[in-house]
Amino acid sequence: MEKLKYADLTDLHAHTDDNPALDEKAGTTAALCEWAIGLQAGDVPPAVLARVKHLILDGLACGLVGGHVPWSEQAAEAIYGYEPPGYCSVIGYGDEALGPLAAAILNGAFIQATELDDYHSMAPLHSASVVVPAILSAAQFLSTGNGRSKDKPTRKVSGLDFLLAAIVGFETGPRVGLATGGGELLVRGWHSGAIFGCPAAAVASSRLLGLSADKTESAIGIACTQAGGLMSATYEGMIKRVQHAFAARNGLFGALLARNGYVGIKKVFERRYGGFLSMFSKGTNRSPPYDVRRVVEELGTTWQIFNIRVKLHACVGGCHGQIEAIAKLQAEHPERFASEVLGKIVSIKVGLSGPIFAHDGWAPHERPLATTGAQMNAAYIGAVQLVDRQVLLAQFADSTLNRDDVWALVDKTSCFHDTRFDQPHYGCGARVTVVFDDGFTVEGVVDQPRGFDPPIQDEEIKEKYRKLAASAIADQARIERLEKLVLGLEDLEDMSEIFELLALPTAKVL
């Protein structure tokens, strides 16, 4: 029998002077931690401070709406059934507080519950659903739960503390994602944001908890060794809603352990054997497979925060270009796309980027789809835009998922990989070609859906917040007060009122 041959591990552990992208001695993880703990308000441009406040507001709006949709209520019922009471508030659930990790799970699941939360256009990630739940729990740990430790008294958490923690988290997630190839993880079936959201939550939590750079590095290592998330969650079930919340919990868990001196993996980004970037880039065709430099490249000068996009449609961000391409065709050819003549459509072809085609271009394998699958399926999303001329939460209610007029169009839709959209920042664009029974053919192309260049303006984010909040909260004064507090975070001495406003009960919206 031929002797088994093992790969030569010498080069695997060697310092690669010839390829700085893979340099195990780059000091990248430590450099990120030093920046995160050292960042001061004066280091952050006013435009970044303003944008992050609005991104937090957008995430909280999604959480207010998401807490009482059916799948969120089922998650809450299960978790409240086994978790003991705690001191961290859960959005919309009154006095039913939980421990920090359980609260982070539910709050993250609520923010991600309706597919209305933000997304990054180069490194697919829902930042608010990862970072905000982690630092909400960390802040309440400091102000309430920390009192269990006699040598570590409770303290107030200021809005500025919270804001700076959010900034380092919002910067970290996309950078780690870019270092692994961005959408490459989606192509290979990983839920990308649930993976590189772990270090984002760890850095944000560590910053808020006041950890040293060394302990922050441990927190990142603890978070990264828990990272995971399977994209087969797209098709059915409810667990996709919770996977970004796993990252929030994992990062917070890492920071809470490291705070007490527990040592995690060091150099977790640089390590070639079993390192975060090395392992999650396995199977890629890229050369080099990952680039450790991108984690800290232009850190503090180029802000990834401005590549976090705000959603205007209640579905996966990768299909927003498709929605807008169809809307464009509807406006240009009103007689062809009138409701009564949609049956004359023979075929619909949708061209998508490689990651989005892998993620959302699949042919439905059953009818009806679950809500999760419907919000992740390009054919279904396009069909509801054709029929309803909008893609909002109502389009994904159980009562709407099995309509014959929608499924007739779903069955006529096929998706393909269009390399045009593999360009930077084109990943959420689409090409839609519609053929009618008389041979008439129209095509619409959107390279970048609305909100890329220019991005959604802060005033528009406020309008989105107000609409979403009003659907879940009857008390207008509460809506206005929460908005005022969040948009004035840098001047807020104590976050307690925000915790209280978020915890007050909210209504069902679906």
Q: What's the pLDDT tens digit per position in 255-287?
A: 999 999 999 999 999 999 999 999 999 999 899
**CA–CA separation, 167 and 203 (whole Å):** 10
Same-domain status, 420 and 331: yes
178 belongs to a structural domain? yes
User: Over 60: is that where the pLDDT of 434 sits?
Assistant: yes
ω into 454 cis (within 30 of 0) = yes
Per-residue confidence at 6, pLDDT binned at 50, 70, 90?
A: very low
**CA–CA separation, 335 and 341 (whole Å):** 8
Per-residue confidence at 153, pLDDT binned at 50, 70, 90?
A: low
473 belongs to a structural domain? no
**CB of 257 within 8 A of CB of 209?**
no
Q: Over 390-451, what HEC string results?
A: CCCHHHHCHHHCCCHHHHHHHCCEEEEECHHHHCCCCCCCEEEEEEECCCCEEEEEECCCCE
Q: Which of 446, 464, 491 is the last residue of a domain?
A: 446
Same-domain status, 341 and 304: no
**CB of 440 within 8 A of CB of 336?**
yes
42 belongs to a structural domain? yes
Same-domain status, 337 and 413: yes
**CB of 200 within 8 A of CB of 173?**
yes
> Reading across the β-sheet that carries 430-436, which strands appear in turn?
413-417, 345-352, 430-436, 441-446
Same-domain status, 269 and 329: no
User: Over 80: is that where the pLDDT of 502 sits?
Assistant: yes
What is the mean pLDDT of the segment spanning 375-388?
98
Continuous segment of H or E residues that includes residue 133:
helix 127-143
* Domain CATH number, residue 180: 1.10.4100.10
Mean pLDDT across the chain: 94
> Encoding tokens for residue 133?
């739940």
Same-domain status, 168 and 285: yes
**CA–CA separation, 197 and 177 (whole Å):** 9
Same-domain status, 239 and 351: no
Same-domain status, 108 and 220: yes
What is the mean pLDDT of the segment spanning 212-228?
98
In a 13 Å sphere around the CA of 348, the CA atoms on its Cβ side amount to 33
DSSP letter at 367 equals S
**CB of 18 within 8 A of CB of 283?**
no
**Percentage of the residues of the chain whose pLDDT score is greater than 70:** 95
Q: Tell me the pLDDT tens digit for each residue of 122-150.
A: 999 999 999 999 999 999 999 987 656 65
Question: What total number of domains does the chain contain?
Answer: 2
> Encoding tokens for residue 465?
């917040």
**CA–CA separation, 167 and 484 (whole Å):** 19
Domain that holds residue 374: 317-446
> Encoding tokens for residue 277?
């970037």
**CB of 15 within 8 A of CB of 23?**
yes
> Encoding tokens for residue 180?
């692994």
Same-domain status, 191 and 305: yes
Same-domain status, 290 and 208: yes
129 belongs to a structural domain? yes
Q: Are β-strands 345-352 and 413-417 bridged in parallel, bridged antiparallel, or unpaired?
A: parallel
What is the mean pLDDT of the segment spanning 60-64?
98
* Domain CATH number, residue 322: 3.30.1330.120
Q: Which residue has the tokens 């927003």?
A: 320
**CA–CA separation, 177 and 190 (whole Å):** 12
Q: Which of 309, 339, 365 is the last residue of a domain?
A: 309
User: Over 80: is that where the pLDDT of 218 sits?
Assistant: yes
Q: Which of 309, 335, 366 is the last residue of a domain?
A: 309
Q: What is the pLDDT of residue 9?
A: 44
Q: What are phi and psi of 25, to 5 degrees?
A: -105, 25
How many Å is the maximal CA-CA distance in the chain?
79
5 belongs to a structural domain? no
Spell 369-400 as b/e; 16+ CB within 10 A means b.
Answer: bbbbbbbbbbbbbbbbbbbbeebebebbeeeb
Per-residue confidence at 8, pLDDT binned at 50, 70, 90?
A: very low
**CB of 91 within 8 A of CB of 110?**
yes
Same-domain status, 277 and 335: no
478 belongs to a structural domain? no
CA distances from 353 to 263, 340, 348 (A): 41, 32, 17
489 belongs to a structural domain? no
358 belongs to a structural domain? yes
Same-domain status, 338 and 382: yes
Same-domain status, 231 and 116: yes
**CA–CA separation, 408 and 342 (whole Å):** 9
Question: What angle do the packed helices 127-143 and 100-111 form, to 10 degrees?
Answer: 150
User: Over 90: is that where the pLDDT of 388 sits?
Assistant: yes
Q: What is the pLDDT of residue 236?
A: 87
**CA–CA separation, 181 and 291 (whole Å):** 8
Cβ-proximal residues to 186 (8 Å cutoff; 6+ apart), any chain? 124, 192, 231, 355, 356, 358, 359
Q: What is the pLDDT of residue 151?
A: 60
Q: Give this prediction's pTM.
A: 0.94
Q: What is the pLDDT of residue 5?
A: 43
**CB of 104 within 8 A of CB of 383?**
no
What is the mean pLDDT of the segment spanning 371-400?
96
- Amino acid identity of residue 65, one-letter, is V
Q: Are β-strands 308-309 and 430-436 bridged in parallel, bridged antiparallel, or unpaired?
A: unpaired
